[in-house]
Amino acid sequence: MQNKTIGQIESDICDAIIKFEKEYLGRGPKEGKVFILGDMIVVRLKGVLTPAEEQLSKTSEGSGLIKKVRMSLLEGARVLLENIVFEITGCQVISLHTDISTKNGERLIIFTLDKNFGGNFR
């Protein structure tokens, strides 16, 4: 881990989150990007909605249902996500925040960590 650049660590986290989405949720995003900012990791996933969710998102009630279900699924897998981050970074996750856009099929996941990441790897 110490020999990896920030870019390599970001790529490892992105690959692991995409793999998680495919295995745990049954479908992965079309594209992903990870940004490490001090003691935060920001994950941006594009193309996360299934075709059925895209149809459902055409109403405000459907959008709300998608958000609730996706939030519930992610909360149920929180420990798995925290372990992914710890395995790659050696940092404990303090908090996890997420939201999904039903307009463009994008999800953001933000992890706050127990230490400043930049000081460890730059």
The pLDDT profile of the chain, 122 residues, written as one tens digit per residue, is: 568 899 999 999 999 999 999 998 888 899 999 999 999 999 999 999 999 999 999 999 999 999 999 999 999 999 999 999 999 999 999 999 999 999 999 999 999 999 987 654 44
What does the pLDDT read at residue 88? 95
What does the pLDDT read at residue 122? 40
Q: Tell me how many degrees the CA angle 11-12-17 measures, rounded to the nearest 5.
A: 95
Q: Which domains does the chain have, with CATH numbers?
A: 6-115 (3.30.980)
Asked whether the beta carbons of 36 and 10 are under 8 A apart, the reply is yes
pTM above 0.85, yes or no: yes
Amino acid 85 reads V
What does the pLDDT read at residue 4? 87
